[in-house]
Structure 1
Amino acid sequence: MSRYRTPVLFLLLSVFWGTAFVAIRGGLEYFPPVLFAALRYDLAAVFMLAYAAIVTDRPVPRTGGEWGLVVIGGVLLIAAYHALLFIGQQSVTSAMAAVVVSLSPVLTTAFARIWLPSERLTPAGLLGMALGLLGVVILSRPDPENILSADVIATGLILAAATAFALGSVLLRRSEAELPIETLEGWSMALGALLMHTLSVLLASESFAAIEWTAEAVLALAYLAVVSSAIGFLLYFDLLERLGPIEINLVSYVVPVVAAVAGWLLLAESIDATTIGGFLVIFVGFCLIKRRQLAAELPAMRAAITDRL
């Protein structure tokens, strides 16, 4: 059974994160978007901080540098990413949102080239970056006569969410401070939830009175908080240690497939050729940027697959 552990965990993570887009889309029928995201991370933070207290010897950051990591995580990876994503998903399908978010590895690489002096984008890398952005344009289908349509704005918000996540990931890598990942995640979730609650209060259109507490609403919130967030992140970091950053990045390209199928089955969302085309263009861009790393990893990936079969 142990030799199947990694592929099983990879599949579970893809399902948990892919279906998260469907849960968000479904839950937005009952929650204001930013408040919905905040409540998700209220619950996830409690779960993760309790877990950190059990498995680490440093459940609370101690230095300014460690708290700096929490600020980066809370502001960019949790608050900015999820507030923008939840607002954007009000107007686009689960599959389209997942495809736009799959641009994150491309954006992460681009930011790394800017912020990490030892790395630079080659001409092929620049082409890959351009293809990734082209994929988003294909998805948004901008109409020159109606450039401010709901779909275009929503796609732009989700792209901004992916950009915030990518920037936060690179800034965390640049920092010299170290913190157990469970502690970092727990406190980042708590800070991000607090920031989103603050934003929700400032938005005149959001209030607790606007929530419809149906069984479907509770199920969507619980699924996102426990399965997609708390358990999903634990699986992610387990796989990151087992597979490394190249292979685990590939989960970003399985998630949209899961989101598309789940959206079709559960929400009757359509899967059109434009969504598939945008996804393929983004994936080609990723392969161009990561071509050397992927080529170096292929022998090991083939050997690992052979050993698991």
Structure 2
Amino acid sequence: MASRRDIALYLSLAAVWGTAFPATKAALDGFPPVALAAVRFSLAAFVLFAVAAATGRSLRPRGRGDWTPVLVGGVFNIGLHHALLFAGQVYVTSAVASTLLGLVPVLTPVVTSAFRPEESISARGAVGVLLGFVGVVLIANPSAGGFLSDVGVWFVLGAAVAWVVGAVFTDEDDAGLAGLSLQAWMLAVGALALDAAAFVVPGQGFAAAAPTTSSFVWVLYLAVVPGALGFLVYFRLLHRLGPIEMGLIEYVIPPFAAVFGWVVLGEGLTPTTGGGFLAILCGFLLVKWPRVVGGIRGYIDGRAAGSAESSKAD
């Protein structure tokens, strides 16, 4: 992480996206999955456009530097990812979907190394990534049968690949628009893709929606907090930290989702959930080992220097 601020934003984003799982489950009482995603990101795009306009930011993309990240992030991270994910969840359980999305941090270093040789991960880090994936499996606890024949598995795998492609190839270095305006356009492009998917995927159209007051409140929450605010923070951190670091957030989300599911929906926490938490923590320590050691040494050196100054004063 570049700073304590990045660490705070990273953990806050994981927590907010963790709340999206129980919130989505509540919102599905009134909306089919793909239509729910389309409404969520349409509202989220509207919120960001309104904020950008109110704060005087330019909203007009100018040239390739603006349109490339808008189209790549919008089509892959917002549209294709969520369309495939929600289509897959029609056929597989949330546990299977969560486990398959845990492949994102595994696939991201592979794709990044192929197209961005300057960014790589150490052997220790690779072991940490795999250990984190084990933690996701323990928390999700999917049944083995879910991986054998369900077409939904391929949809969710496609969703994971779409997310990785978007993360690796969304490059804002040449953008002229402010980040807020870029993210507004990304969400708008993704919302249009999801609107199209809602008409194509059987049973997922807006005609099948029967929103209640409760489900619509949850949709508003999903649009504003995990949607508009969450993706604004995600793409800001992606620009600063890179795809490998941000791919690891898929390992931080499940513990938050499990805790929120326990608090909000009364879902149980099993011994394997605790084991998953521990595996993810150990995996993160391995990935971030140089910074962990450096931070500990810096703390020790700082304490030693403080003690030495105190002794001189005495």
Are 1:209 and 2:210 matched, yes or no?
A: no
Taking only the aligned residue pairs, the percentage that are identical comes to: 37
Q: Would you say 1:177 and 2:178 are equivalent positions?
A: no
- The one-letter code matched in structure 2 to 1:45 is A
CA separation of 1:104/1:301 partners in 2, compared to 1, >3 Å: closer, same or farther? Answer: farther
For 1:61-210, list aligned pairs within 5 A.
61-89=61-89, 91-93=92-94, 101=101, 104-135=104-135, 139=140, 141=142, 143=144, 147-148=148-149, 153=152, 157-158=155-156, 160-173=158-171, 176-178=173-175, 179-210=177-208
Aligned residues: 293
Matching of residue 53 in structure 1 with residue 50 in structure 2: no
SS at match of 1:118: coil
| TM-superposed deviation, 1:66 | 1.6
Counterparts of 1:208 and 1:17 in 2: how far apart (Å)?
24
Indicate how the Cα distance of structure 1 residues 278 and 147 shifts in structure 2: closer, same or farther if over 3 A, else same: farther
Contact 1:52 1:182 in 2 (8 A): yes
What TM-score, normalized to structure 2?
0.74
Q: Is the 8 A contact 1:16 1:232 kept in 2?
A: yes
Q: Which residue of 1 aligns with 2:228?
A: 230
CA shift digits 1:134-185 (9 cap, x unpaired): 45555464536972259xx45x654543442233122124x65224211221
Q: CA deviation at 1:47?
A: 0.8
Could you tell me how far 1:105 is from its partner in structure 2?
4.4
CA separation of 1:5 and 1:70: change in aligned 2, threshold 3 A: closer
Amino acid at match of 1:23: A
Task: Give the 3-state SS of the residue equivalent to 2:170 in structure 1.
Answer: helix
- TM superposition score normalised by structure 1: 0.75
Paired with 1:15 and 1:258, the residues of 2 have a C-alpha distance of: 5
Q: Deviations over 1:244-289 (max 9, x none)?
A: 6799888655532332122123323233344444454455444434
Whole-angstrom CA distance in 2 between matches of 1:271 and 1:47: 35
Q: Which has the larger radius of gyration?
A: 2
1 CA distance for matches of 2:49 and 2:102?
A: 28
Partner of 1:43: 43
On the 8 A contact 1:99/1:279 being kept in 2, the answer is no
Query: Residues 18 and 122 from structure 1, CA distance in 2 versus in 1: closer, same or farther, beyond 3 angstroms?
Result: closer
- Comparing 270-279 with 110-119, which one deviates more in the overlay? 270-279
Contact 1:20 1:228 in 2 (8 A): yes
Unaligned runs of 5+ in 2: 302-314
Give the aligned CA root-mean-square deviation in angstroms: 3.9
Aligned partner letter, 2:186: S
Q: Say yes or no: does 1:34 pair with 2:31.
A: no
